[in-house]
Structure 1
Amino acid sequence: MNLFDGAISNLEYGLKYATLKNKTIAHNIANVDTPNYKAKDVSFKQLLAEENEKQISAYRTDERHFDFVIKQTAPSVYSYENFQYRHNGNGVDIDKEMSELAKNTIYYNSLIDRINGKFQTLNTVIKGGK
């Protein structure tokens, strides 16, 4: 019997994504006045597109089974190379970064609340419903 059914590990990967995104946004904000700095971002969509390009294979016991792979990967950071927001070559839009920071903070806090709920449920079960 799997106690957590993968929910907590999935929430953990969500937290890792949100943490990396927060660090990337903070790095962009810190370099808002740096000449020729190109803004960076973390994208789940880009990660998914990169994974879809790779060869997919699995051990199959029957030829009618579909090929599949289950792989945990870390989100990757990419840079907007050809984007220039200011005359000095800087590619950081501070308004966009601040709104992304607020959105990411809400996402992170919702994941924390969900994990706390999971642990509270486990605590209730351990204590026998008291």
Structure 2
Amino acid sequence: MDIFSGTISNLENALGRANVKQKVISDNIANIDTPNYKSKNVAFHDMLNDASIKLDAKKTYQGHIDFSKTRSNYSVVSSNRTSYQENGNNVDIDQEMSELAKNQIQYNALVERMSGKFNSLKTVLTGGK
């Protein structure tokens, strides 16, 4: 039986994505003065995470990949097209700080939602007391 019909699992996945994005943004900020450093971004494959899309597959051979196993659904890509500084670095600190703030707000909202789900579960288990 899946508690909350998969909501906790979806929230956990979203928190993981926010964590990865936080690390990439932090790396960009830390390398703001590194010569020839190219900023990185996380490309998420959101279609695979969309709750409305269900991928049902039937394994016809034991060697086939199991669709229920967790797979990495993102990739870190470098932006090589631009150069903001004379040393070849293309990190835009204003954009990175904006992305950092946006990601932090999203992360906090996800944590609050997860906390609400656990509080609901606690209420059910204690009989509302």
* Structure 1 length-normalised TM: 0.79
Alignment coverage as a number of residue pairs: 115
5+ unaligned residues in a row in structure 2: which ranges? Answer: 49-54, 60-66
Classify 1:13/1:33 alpha carbon distance in 2 versus 1 (closer, same or farther; 3 Å): same
Q: Distance in 1 between matches of 2:77 and 2:92?
A: 16
Q: Deviations over 1:32-60 (max 9, x none)?
A: 0001000001122xx3589xxxxx98339
* Structure 2 length-normalised TM: 0.79
2:121 aligns to what?
A: 122
Return the offset for 1:24: 0.4
Fraction of identical pairs, as percent = 53
Return the offset for 1:5: 1.1
Q: Distance in 2 between matches of 1:112 and 1:16?
A: 11
5+ unaligned residues in a row in structure 1: which ranges? Answer: 51-55, 61-68
Within the alignment, does 1:73 sit opposite 2:71 as a pair? yes
Q: Distance in 2 between matches of 1:10 and 1:57?
A: 17
- Report SS of the residue matched to 1:33: coil
Q: Distance in 2 between matches of 1:99 and 1:119?
A: 31
Classify 1:48/1:4 alpha carbon distance in 2 versus 1 (closer, same or farther; 3 Å): closer
1:8 aligns to what?
A: 8
RMSD: 2.3
Classify 1:23/1:70 alpha carbon distance in 2 versus 1 (closer, same or farther; 3 Å): same
Q: Deviations over 1:75-127 (max 9, x none)?
A: 22111122212111001000000000000000000000000000000000000
2:30 aligns to what?
A: 30
